[in-house]
Structures are given as C-alpha cells and as structure tokens.
Structure 1
Amino acid sequence: MLLHEVFVDGFRNLAQVTLRPHPRLTVLIGDNGQGKTNLLEAIHLVAALRPLRPVERAAELVAFGRETGLVRGRFALDGPLDVEVRLEQRGRKATVGGKAVRDVATLAGRLGVVSFVPDDATMIRGGPGDRRRGLDRFAYALLPAFAAASRRFDEALEQRNRLLKEPVVDDDALDAFTPPFVDAAVDLARLRAEACVRWAPVFSAEAHALGGDALGATLGYQSGCFDDDVATTASAALQQHLQQRLDRGRDVEKRKRSTLCGPQLDDVVVAKAGRGARFLASQGEARALVLALKLAAVRLLTEARGQGPLLLLDDVAGELDRHRAARLLQSIDEHDAQVFVTTTGTDTLPPLGDCAVVGVHDGRLRA
C-alpha cells in the first residue's frame, strides 16, 4: 500500500495542509508542539479509520473554533483508492470514492497501518488490557475473520454482564445467553492464539536484530479461561471446558455481578531472557521490544498481503539510544513499508538515505 497524498483541514492544529510523502521514508521535523504528531495522527485516522490515541469524542480531534475537521488520503491499493474521514461534533464519517463506508473494520484491515508512539511502552510495562489491545490491533489487520469475531464476543459479553447486573438474576435467561457467549469466546480465543503463534518467532528475530542476544525476547498467548493450548485444542473441547467453568462459577458471578472467565481476561506474555519483561526490562529495552513487535507486524502483514503497510513512528529517536536507532533504521530499510518518522532534529537520527524531510511549524509544512 502507498499513500500518495494526504490533505488535512481542521484537525487539531492543522489547517489546509497537504503532504505528498516519499514512497519509502518521510521525516517530519520540528519543535515540540508544532504539529508533527498531529500529522501522524491524521495519517493514521485516514488509513486505520480510527484515532491513533484513544479519545472520548471525535470532536476532540477538531481544531479549536471549528465545527468540523477533514482528512483525505489518496492511496494505491490494487489501484487508486480515495478515503475521506470527516470529523463532526456528533462523530466521524468515512467515505471511499465518495460512498459511505459500512464495514469500517474490514476496510481498515485492507488498508493496513502499524504505528509506534511513546505510550506504546504499556504493551510491555502496562496491564493485560494494554497488551490485549496491542494484540487485537495486529489481529484485526492480519486475520480477516477477527473483526467479526471480536464484535460478536463483545456483544455476547455485554449481554451476559447485563443479566448478571440485574437485582435478581434470571437463571433461565442466563442459561440461554451463556452458549452464544461460549461460542464467541472460543472463536475469539482461537484467533488471538493464531495471531500470537504467527507473531512470536518473527518478533524474536526482530528483537534480536534491534538488541542482539541481550534482549532474548519471546512472546506467548495467555488465555483467560483455558488451560490447554488454545491453538491446537479442538473447538468442541474448549467450548465444553468453558461451559463447565461458567456453570461452576455461577454463584460467584452473581455476587460479583460480572462474567469472571473468558477472553476479556487474556494476556500476552512478553519475556526477556526467559523472565517477564514487564518488570525486568529497562525503559529503553521496553521500547525496543515494542518496536520489535511493530516491525514483526510489518513483516507478517507484508507477507500476508503481498504489499507493505504504512509504518508511523513518533519520536522514535528520542526513545532509543543512537546504536539502537541505527539498527532500527537499518531494519526499516529491509521492510517493504512506507515509513513516517517524527523528530525534533535530524541530528538525533543516524544518517538517512533517500527520503523526504518536511518541516512542521505552527501547524504548517515547510519543504
């Protein structure tokens, strides 16, 4: 996939900005607070059809004093593809070729974008929810069935929890809603396990390329409900196991008023030299591990699609020592991805090859 042009108007501090990026590497340079990360966010929004960082309302992305914002991207993906995201006070609307997008998750999966921001270190040092979200973002892009499976599970979990929160739980209704929950839980767990199985060896190789033997990184899926290997155990056996656990734990769930077993409790275990990286890895090592996860995702998505995704790296030079930053740029050059990097100055980066360097000042671009 290639982004030929992005037009941004009324998005955070950006007003009527047009960027025509380099096909391989575009470096956005400028002082902090000038709009570099905002431009990355705009690119992510039009490529992934969701914000780069969580927001409560789409209106938070609209420039101060404006009613609406607009991001328009011209892509090459098996032919020309024009995508537009309009931000309004009531939400956001996406169109492709002027037609409303009905299945946002499927289109986002087709487009493909991998991003790194400093807060992504929570994938290593944060809680299980941070790692689940990181895994799910990868699975959305890699596995076509994941979006529908995730939606189905979220709906089943919400319905079951709603019943458990009633002042008096209707056991007959709970009996009726539990089998659909079990089916959805098994489907989601198997897809997450598949994503991890495919991610793990490539992640270990990328971590070695970035940090050498010192990182010795591994990745594994930790189920929130199954003791057996989810990837190799038959679905029927997993369904039976989960149903039995839910039956045994029903009284406790009634007291807690929540579903206490299922993929909503999954975790991803990232280890360094055989020990959990969450507490063992230094800040620099944690960020190198996250970058290895991202580069592994780029490689796998490229293999699966036959073309690379966009790779967005925010202030990556400020997160790594110069040696690891040099290794990162070398590794990026080996991947088939269109890369966007933000930095406060090219002196913070190792020598750059063929690329475009674009200045960002007060929400405007300088070639």
Structure 2
Amino acid sequence: MKSTIKNKKVWLIFIILIAFLLLVGGTIPYFLFYIFLLTLLVPLIHNLMVLHRLKGYVKIPKDSIYVGDEITISYEIDNKSRFIVPYLEIENTIFKDLTGSKAPNIITTLEPKEKFYHKETITLKRRGYYQLGQIKVLIKDGFGLYTLNKNILSQTSLLVYPEPISLDAFRSTKVEQLGELMIEDLAFQDKSRISSVREYREGDSVKSIHWKLSAKLGELITKEYENKGDTNVVIFMNNYKKYLENDVDRRLEDKMVDISLSIINYYLNRNIPVQLLTQYEDQIVDIEGQQSTDLKPFLTIFAKFKGNGYKNLNPFIQYRSNILKKGTTVIIITPNLDKATGSLGIFLKSRFLKPLIIMAWDQQYNNGFLDSSVEKSLRQDGIPVYIIDYGTNIKEALEG
C-alpha cells in the first residue's frame, strides 16, 4: 500500500504556515495550522479505512489452454467499509502479462457495501507459464489530496500450451557430389512390411510406388511402410542462457519451442520413440514418448521452457552419445552454430549416429550466432543443417 499527496498547493500552504508560525507565532496562526492539519487528516483517515476494508478476487480458467484460445478473466472489488469510495481506478496487470499490451484502466465509484464486478475476454498470443500477478486498485479522496493504492493478488497460475505445427513430412538436406538433393527421412521405415497405401505426393520415392495398384486405379499410389522396431530419435535443445541473454521478447525461445514441438509431434504421430533433453536452470529435463497420446508432457515442458540453462549443453550431448544406440537420429536445436557445435556434429557421426542440426536465429534483431564456414563444412560431411529465422515458416522449412 502506498500513499501520496500530489496537490502542490497543499504543500505550498503547509510551508507558508510553518514559516509564519516560526517567524510570528501567536494563537490565531496556531489555530489556523491545527485546522489545516485536521483538513489533511480527515480525508487521509477516510482513505485508509476504506482501503483496509477493500477486498477482491481474480478468477481465471484452470483448463488446458493453448495459444490462440480465448479466455475470460473476471474480478470483483468489494467495498466492505461504511464509507463511499469517490474515486476508484483499476489497473489489470494480468492482461498485459498474457497479451503483451496494456488494458485501459477502469474508473468508477463505490457506495458503502457495494461490489464492482468486471470481466474481460482476451486471446492468448503466446505460450508460457504465468504465475499471474495482481489487479492494482487506486483510490482518491473527494478533494484529490491523497492517492492510495492496493494490490489484489491472484493465487491462480495459468499454463498456456504452444500449438503444435502439423508436418506431413520431415525432410533433411544431404550434400552429394552431384549437388544438393532433397530426401525424405526414410531411415525409420521397414521396407519388408507395408502398413498402408495412399495417393502419390510430390517428393515421394519412385521405389515406394505400388505399380500394380496404380495401374488398376489409373493413378499413382504410394506404399507406406511400418517403422523399424529399433527406430528412435533424441532431441537436444541447447538453451544455454549466454546464447539467449539478448533475446528480444523471447522470440528465439518461442521459435526453438515451435521447431522442437513440430518435430516431436511428427514422430509421435508415427509411433516413433522420441526423447527430449534440455535444461531448466541447473537441472536436466529428460522426457520421452512414442505415441500421439504422449504429447501432453512435452507440451507442459515447452510451456515452461526458458533460455535459462546454466551450462552449454554441447559437452553433455557428447557425453550422452556414449549410451545411444548406433543409428539413433540425434537432433540438436540451438541458437548458436559455432565451431564447437560443428565439431560435435562430426563427432556424433563418427559414433555411427545420425546427427541433424537446426539453428534458430532472429535476423531482425541480430540474435543468434551463425558461422557460415561451419554450416558449409557440416553439409560437405553429409550432416543435415537447417537455418530457421524467426520469420521463417516452420512447416515449409522442415518439409523441404
């Protein structure tokens, strides 16, 4: 609670009376001074009594909420005192936390024992874990001498999940002697077992076409194969805080989340085991799944994801590679593609793993570090590399 006197004339009168008392003295000056003090004290006491009895609450939905959803925030201010509140101003700071923009302040009055109820519907613009703060209430007396404020705290937290981006394919770039060839990631498929057939799509391998059925139906039909039993994917998100300390409005954080979630969603929908490793401050976060129903724990992690890792994950990735099965696809998502990251990619390949490096950066604000010579070297060694800017369409980039 804070109290201020903003009327400059009051301070001027106070200084003049003090000076008059010191220089002249006498009964009448003191009488005028006491009357003046009483005039100041009455509205102050009134405001303090009202503020003490001013109660309120904030109500927020507790359901699973995704970016793009609409929610209604309601709050109530209750004047439990026996005095009128001539001026009441309400600032909804929760609105700014959720949308990034400030809501207009509400100004009203409250009679004794009266309640003020208000609700606002907003569209959630970004994922995150919000330990929602407060509604700020400001009151003034009838003369405008005092301004007092009080914070009405919300005990509710809100978890906003990112919305998964659906990928129809996940393609990687492989550099060969004849140039750059776009290939679909078919390493997970068991060619001896067909799971289903579908219409041919541009980019499908000619070897996957079901020629007999295509001739019968008069259109190209593609065979889809079951996944190999030993197929698995490990994704490392390097959220070392040094790499993200200049991240404007958490843009790189959000991009890394969208990239990771889209890839995980792609694999889970195809029943391919996938494991995510990142860090939250000094703790390693390790989570895995295999089916589309396993997505929820990943969403929770991504809602809370921050660029707050205490350590560069590169040494950890190298150490962890010692326990990974040969042939495991290792995807590194990082805002920093330097020589150390490039060397890590080559090391993983030498361990008979399948590294794939995705760099997220923000060209507009010059955030993220890209060494073009490292990118070129990795491609020459047959290691797929994606460079995805904040403004790049993830679906288009990952599908090729």
> TM class, shorter-chain normalised?
under 0.3
Select the structure of larger CA radius of gyration: 2
TM-score of the aligned structures, taking structure 2 as reference length: 0.21
TM-score of the aligned structures, taking structure 1 as reference length: 0.23
The structure carrying a bigger helix percent of its residues is 1
The structure carrying a bigger strand percent of its residues is 2
Where relative contact order (Cα < 8 A, 6+ residues apart) is larger, the structure is: 1
